[in-house]
Structure 1
Amino acid sequence: MSDTLLTSLFPEGNHNNAQTAEYLTKLGTYKIKNLKNEPDRLKQEANVIQEQIQELAISNYKTFIETALCSRELFFKFGVIEEKVNDLLEDVPKFEEICDKFATESSEINDLRRTDSTTLAKSAQILEILEIPQLMNSFIRDGLYEDALELCNYVRKLYLKHNDVPIFKTINDDVNKAWILMLHQLLSQLRQDLSLPKCLQIVGHLRRMEIFSEPELRLKFLQARSHWLEQQLTAISKDDLLVHLTKTIEITRVNLFNILTQYTAIFNDDEHSPLGVSQIKSTNPNVIFKSWIQHQISSFLITLDRDLSGGNSLEGIFDQCMYFGYSFSKVGCDFRPWMVPIFTKHIYLNFSNLIASADNNFTKNIEKFTLIDKKTSSIPWKHNKGDELRPPDSLLEFYPLAEYTNNILNALNQLRLRPPVALVTEVVETLETSMTLIAKSLRKLYSQEQQAFSVNSKDAFTRLCMCFSDDLLPFIQKTIHIIFPPSHLATKLGVSVKVLQEEGISFFNKDVVIAPISHLLPTNAEPNITAESS
């Protein structure tokens, strides 16, 4: 019954479609109300689909037009192809004529065959010539530079003799490429650690290659050895500046001396002029090397200046550098005078930094120090004069002055290791400025606490000022003269000690130092410091 109904509804047999069957199954589950509404729903769905079809046609009308145009163009191209085929059929007879001509000319191949036979008979000799570039590369790869040089000369002579033969030109070009490779290989070997015989051998090969002129060869040699030296210096760790500087001095000294020895042995000039860097002449054949050694020494001095800025101990470094300069004085290249200003600068910087630290410590201590309710001290007023290097005992009563004295002595002890005479004025001025600052701090202490001073406090402050003026100042003056003896300075300057005193060289100006507290000192407590020192 159901099959009959389906056949009557779908006479074309579409009810066997899976979608149709699924829809009918779903339709069978509908209620009467849903079945009544189903035609309207299907009609609405059909309208929606119709609208979508129209929108699709509108949105893709260009595609339809392009399809039509494409079809028309294809039809036109087929017509063109048909015409080309007709032309090809017309050219076939001409092609046949050409084939006949080729057959005629192929007879010449016999001549070429005879030539090939001759070539085959001489193949061994030809193969030897063709393998020359490979043999050249093999010589260079194995380091057989003598054989490579001889082979290159042979190829060049062969090319000059048969320059009209293309194969010889090709072989000569290949050998020249290997020639350049050998040049780079030799130059790269100069950038390595080499002994003197090896250097002589490499430079000998470069001379025979005749690529560089003599000045260019010298320059290339120095550039390569500079690269080796820079590699050694770059490999030094910079974590510790003292270790870095020590190793830099040693490596620079050893390698520069080796390079100098190699250079003088390889480039032995007729005129043996000294290698002094301050006497460079443009006519001197050694001008290249002199400029190079000057550059290397300048680079070393820059490194020395930079690493000394880290506050390293100058004593050991100074001895190493002086030995470095002395060793080069044997070859006329003494650069020790160039190092003196560098060490002088850093000695003074270290000294001034220590003095500045002493000033800061005294400023902090004096801010905490008070003389209010100060009792009479039991410390002896004058120290034992049997030991002139011992600080005055009276400083023990006032710990800011005592600590300041210790810091000053620490700075002077470091200066005493290598005291440059050229710094005597700067040292005295620095100490004079520092002690003037101390006097101002004492005046500030008095202005802050004078209203609360008792009789004992006033006496203690007077002792403090007198200790600074009559004990500390002469003692520091005495230590300066121990480091820079006036007699020694007078001898160096060619004047008398009296002239030094009059000019204030190595002598403090006491009036300037104690000026801030001069009104707080007893009138009979200002002895002449220069007279005591002399």
Structure 2
Amino acid sequence: MSPRARRGSYTNAAQSHAIGAEREQAEAYFSDLLSYSLERLSKEPELLKADQDQLRRQAQEATKTHYRAFIAAAEGLETTRAELESVSCHLDALAVDLPALTSACDTFTQSAAQFASKRAENKQLLKQHPVLLELLEVPQLMDACVRNGSYDDALDLRAFVAKMALLHADLKIVQQLVAEVEAASEAMLAGLMGKLHGPIQLPECLRIVGCLRRLAPFPEAELRRRFLQCREEWLAELVRELDDSNVYEYVKRLTDVHRLQLFDVVMQFRAIFSDDSSPQEAAAAAGAAPGTGDGGDAGAVYSWAQHRLVFYLETLAAVLPRIGEGGSLASVLEHCMYCGMSLGRVGLDFRGLLVPLFEAQVLRLYANSVKAATDMFVMLLDVHKWVAMPAVAARARQAGSTADPSTPKREDNAGPPYALLEHAPLAVLTNGLLAAFNELRHCAPLSLCTSVSAILQEALEGAVRVMAHYRATQALEDSHSQHFEAACVAMTGSVVPYIAGCFARIYPGQGKLIDVREAIAPLTAPLPAPPEEGTPQPASSDTSALTSA
């Protein structure tokens, strides 16, 4: 039956029920009328009319009072009618879609069977959940091992995943595990290389290189090169952090850095890569001349050490001119020599290369001191007033008189003559040359004997020539001229021989290199005989400076 037919049957049933109710009421009323009397029947129309009027009034009052209810009822009726029509339409659509629903139910039945099969698989997977969870946590566990420095455990996990990849290479989950483990391996490689950029001892260095070999990111030759590259960067960083404001401390710290770090790196390299040797050793082992055979990576550490030593020597040559004291220069030389001796234990003795650097610096320092002394002498000679200084002369005579007459005069006295106190330019010149000797005596290489003597000879000759030129060009009064002549006698008889004797004390047996007669030749004053070579001289030249008046 269609919805419309069912709706019509419902309406007919309601109408039939209403008609039956009205018929029953009419029959009951007619029964009552038959039981009334004639008088009552005659009054019935009026009573009915009164009831009708009362009902009408009540209906009107109810309509006025409850008009909203009537309106709502009407609206409800209309809404109900519209809903019934909508339901009727939906029922029609439902009737049309019922075949499709039946087909969908059949499809659902088939899908439910598939889902049941998958559920069985998932149930089996649930039973193996702990094992799968351990497999999926391998990358995280490896990453934690890398962060905590447990590289051996991380490498074991990596080997386990690699073995699994060989057995189940077609599974996506295994491929994903391999990718994540490779990412963790990259992080581990970066951490291991970072440790090689810092201060490490030999046991830790052996452990790190062992892990790198198990990780195998590059071949053995590349591993050696990377190792030396990392240590080079670490050593260069240490050198960059040094403060060069104090050149003396800078050179000593630079030397200490190279002495300690070069020794450690060479020992570490030789312990880790035990087949490496120097180029000469590799050539001898191969039966070929040094430098003619292909030693592979043999001698790589020595090539790197040579590079570092070249850098060290170049830096040393650049900063040594900033050291202006002979004592500091001697201390630096001793420190550098100790570094060369220490590195000689691993075949890196470079002490022979230090000699030219320090010789040049010593000679420069001495030449500058001598030049400063002669320049000051020339300047003071131009402005000096050649007058008598009684206080100074009395002091010199007093110093001479206080000596014990019974004591024989010492020919090897290292102090300057007190007579120079009467002549300020000569005292200044002597002080300057003694200061140069005091700087030289801390570090006086025998190889510079000739050069030092040449500089001193030229300085003495120049000072004498200046005095000779001054005497020839300056017109002095008689009193001034007498004092100047006395200064010339002191120059030729005391200053030049005394300075030559000081040179002989620094370089024993080499006093003949200073030609006193040639030095004082420009002055015509009589010259004392030069000191004999056989005269014993004190070993020290630490002379006292004169106090100028």
Q: Which of the five TM-score ranges fits, normalised by the shorter chain? A: 0.5 to 0.7
SS in 1 for 2:381: helix
Which of 241, 247, 265 is matched with 1:241 structurally?
Answer: 247
Residue 294 in 1 paired to residue 306 in 2? yes
Change (3 A) 1:463 1:176: same
Aligned residues: 408
Q: Deviations over 1:306-334 (max 9, x none)?
A: 44332251222222222221122222221
TM-score by length of 1: 0.67
Residue 326 in 1 paired to residue 341 in 2? yes
Residue 202 in 1 paired to residue 208 in 2? yes
Which of 507, 520, 526 is matched with 2:514 structurally?
Answer: 507
Q: Is the 8 A contact 2:205 2:268 kept in 1?
A: yes
Change (3 A) 1:373 1:209: closer
The amino acid that maps onto 1:191 is H
| Stretch of structure 1 that moved more, 205-214 or 460-469 | 460-469
Residue 220 in 1 paired to residue 253 in 2? no
Q: Deviations over 1:475-509 (max 9, x none)?
A: 2222222212236xxxxxxxxx9xxx6xxxx3347
Q: Is the 8 A contact 1:200 1:266 kept in 2?
A: yes
The amino acid that maps onto 2:234 is W
Residue 315 in 1 paired to residue 362 in 2? no
| Stretch of structure 1 that moved more, 137-146 or 364-373 | 364-373
The amino acid that maps onto 1:337 is G
- Match of residue 168 from structure 1: 174
Q: Deviations over 1:452-483 (max 9, x none)?
A: 432x4333333322322333222222222221
In 2: Cα distance, 1:466 partner to 1:251 partner = 56
In 1: Cα distance, 2:161 partner to 2:482 partner = 106
In 2: Cα distance, 1:532 partner to 1:192 partner = 60
- The RMSD of aligned alpha carbons is 3.6
- Match of residue 433 from structure 1: 458
Q: CA deviation at 1:186?
A: 0.8
Q: Deviations over 1:126-150 (max 9, x none)?
A: 4333332222212212222112112
SS in 2 for 1:390: coil
Q: CA deviation at 1:109?
A: 8.3
SS in 1 for 2:274: coil
Change (3 A) 1:105 1:339: farther
Q: Deviations over 1:53-88 (max 9, x none)?
A: xxxxxxxxxxxxxxxxxxxxxxxxxxxxxxxxxxxx
The amino acid that maps onto 2:487 is L
Which of 453, 477, 498 is matched with 1:475 structurally?
Answer: 498
In 2: Cα distance, 1:110 partner to 1:151 partner = 41
- Match of residue 360 from structure 1: 375
Residue 414 in 1 paired to residue 439 in 2? yes
Q: CA deviation at 1:165?
A: 2.8
Matched ranges for 1:476-491 at <5 A: 476-486=499-509
Residue 144 in 1 paired to residue 150 in 2? yes
Change (3 A) 1:254 1:109: farther
In 2: Cα distance, 1:142 partner to 1:353 partner = 60
Q: Is the 8 A contact 1:371 1:453 kept in 2?
A: no
- Match of residue 180 from structure 1: 186
The amino acid that maps onto 1:326 is M
In 2: Cα distance, 1:142 partner to 1:175 partner = 16
| Stretch of structure 1 that moved more, 285-294 or 463-472 | 463-472
Q: Is the 8 A contact 1:344 1:423 kept in 2?
A: yes
Q: Is the 8 A contact 1:365 1:400 kept in 2?
A: yes
Change (3 A) 1:403 1:385: farther
| Stretch of structure 1 that moved more, 122-131 or 322-331 | 122-131
The amino acid that maps onto 1:480 is F
Q: Deviations over 1:426-460 (max 9, x none)?
A: 2122222322332343244335532x432x43333
In 1: Cα distance, 2:426 partner to 2:202 partner = 63
The amino acid that maps onto 1:408 is L
In 1: Cα distance, 2:119 partner to 2:447 partner = 92
- Match of residue 38 from structure 2: none
SS in 2 for 1:486: coil
| Stretch of structure 1 that moved more, 431-440 or 396-405 | 431-440
Q: CA deviation at 1:362?
A: 1.4
Residue 389 in 1 paired to residue 414 in 2? yes
- Match of residue 28 from structure 2: none
SS in 1 for 2:275: coil
Which of 253, 259, 262 is matched with 1:253 structurally?
Answer: 259
The amino acid that maps onto 2:148 is D
Change (3 A) 1:527 1:373: closer
Change (3 A) 1:464 1:187: same
Unaligned runs of 5+ in 2: 1-96, 283-289, 401-408, 536-549
Q: CA deviation at 1:116?
A: 6.1
Greater RCO (Cα-Cα under 8 Å, separation 6 or more): 2
Unaligned runs of 5+ in 1: 1-95, 488-496
- Match of residue 125 from structure 2: 122
| Stretch of structure 1 that moved more, 420-429 or 121-130 | 121-130
In 1: Cα distance, 2:259 partner to 2:176 partner = 50
In 2: Cα distance, 1:175 partner to 1:167 partner = 12
In 1: Cα distance, 2:228 partner to 2:331 partner = 31
- Match of residue 140 from structure 2: 134
Q: CA deviation at 1:355?
A: 1.4
Q: CA deviation at 1:219?
A: 2.1
Q: Is the 8 A contact 2:276 2:299 kept in 1?
A: no
The amino acid that maps onto 2:383 is K
In 2: Cα distance, 1:197 partner to 1:480 partner = 55
Residue 191 in 1 paired to residue 197 in 2? yes
Which of 465, 477, 483 is matched with 1:453 structurally?
Answer: 477
Change (3 A) 1:288 1:116: farther
Q: Deviations over 1:141-171 (max 9, x none)?
A: 2222112112212222222333333332222
Q: CA deviation at 1:262?
A: 2.0
In 2: Cα distance, 1:116 partner to 1:247 partner = 74
In 1: Cα distance, 2:378 partner to 2:449 partner = 26
The amino acid that maps onto 1:145 is Y
Change (3 A) 1:275 1:296: farther
SS in 1 for 2:467: helix
| Stretch of structure 1 that moved more, 183-192 or 386-395 | 386-395
The amino acid that maps onto 1:174 is E
Change (3 A) 1:533 1:270: closer
SS in 2 for 1:228: helix
